[in-house]
Chain A
Amino acid sequence: MSKRIEVTDLNVYYGDFRAVEDVTMAIEPKAITAFIGPSGCGKSTFLRTLNRMHEVVPGARVEGEVLLDGENLYGPGVDPVRVRRQVGMVFQRPNPFPTMSIKENVLAGINLNNRRMPASEKDALAERALRGANLWDEVKNRLDAPGSGLSGGQQQRLCIARAIAMEPQVLLMDEPCSALDPISTLAIEDLMAKLKEEYTIVIVTHNMQQAARISDVTAFFNIAGTGSPGRLIESGPTEKIFSVPDVKATEDYISGRFG
Chain B
Amino acid sequence: MSQQSMIRADAEPASHHHPDPKRVGDRVFSGLATGSGVLILVILALVAAFLLIQGTPALLADPAKLTAQGYGPFAEWVAPYVFGTLWAAALALFLAVPVSIGIALFISHYAPRRLAQPLGYVIDLLAAVPSVVFGLWGAAVLAPAVQPMWAWLNANLGFIPLFGGQASGTGRTILTAAIVLATMVLPIITSLCREVFLQAPKLHEEAALALGATHWEMIKMAVLPFARPGIIAAVMLGLGRALGETMAVAMVLSGGRQISFQLLTSENPNTIAATIAQNFPEAFGLKVNQLIAAGLVLFVITLAVNTIARWIVARRAQYSGAN
> Is residue A146 within 8 Å, beta carbon to beta carbon, of the partner chain?
yes
**What CA separation (Å) do A56 and B203 show in the bound complex?**
12
**What CA separation (Å) do A89 and B225 show in the bound complex?**
22
Contacts of A97 in B (CB 8 A): 204, 207-208, 221-222, 225
> Is residue A84 within 8 Å, beta carbon to beta carbon, of the partner chain?
yes
Whole-angstrom distance between the Cβ of A163 and the nearest chain B Cβ: 8
Which B residues have a C-beta under 8 Å from some C-beta of A? 112-113, 201, 203-214, 217, 221-222, 225-226, 228, 316, 318-321, 323
> Is residue A51 within 8 Å, beta carbon to beta carbon, of the partner chain?
yes
**What CA separation (Å) do A51 and B212 show in the bound complex?**
10
**What CA separation (Å) do A89 and B226 show in the bound complex?**
21
Chain A 80-99 interface residues, beta-carbon cutoff 8 Å to B: 81-82, 84-85, 88-89, 91, 93, 95-99
Binds B, one of A29-37, A105-113, A231-239, A242-250: A105-113
Whole-angstrom distance between the Cβ of B304 and the nearest chain A Cβ: 27
Asked whether, in the complex, the Cβ of A146 is within 8 Å of the Cβ of B318, the reply is yes
Q: Is the interface of B mostly helix, strand, loop or mixed?
A: helix
Which A residues have a C-beta under 8 Å from some C-beta of B? 51, 53, 56, 58, 81-82, 84-85, 88-89, 91, 93, 95-100, 108-109, 112-113, 146, 148-149, 159, 162-163, 166
Q: Pick the contact of A56 from B206, B211, B221 — CB < 8 Å?
A: B206
**What CA separation (Å) do A82 and B225 show in the bound complex?**
24
- Could you list some 8 contacts between A and B, CB below 8 A? A53-B209, A58-B112, A97-B207, A98-B319, A99-B319, A109-B212, A112-B213, A166-B212
Asked whether, in the complex, the Cβ of B319 is within 8 Å of the Cβ of A146, the reply is yes
Contacts of A98 in B (CB 8 A): 204, 225-226, 319-321, 323
Q: Pick the contact of A112 from B212, B225, B321 — CB < 8 Å?
A: B212
Asked whether, in the complex, the Cβ of A56 is within 8 Å of the Cβ of B226, the reply is no
Asked whether, in the complex, the Cβ of B221 is within 8 Å of the Cβ of A89, the reply is no
* Known interface pairs A97-B225, A98-B226; A81-B207 also in contact (CB < 8 Å): no
Asked whether, in the complex, the Cβ of A149 is within 8 Å of the Cβ of B211, the reply is no
Asked whether, in the complex, the Cβ of B212 is within 8 Å of the Cβ of A82, the reply is yes
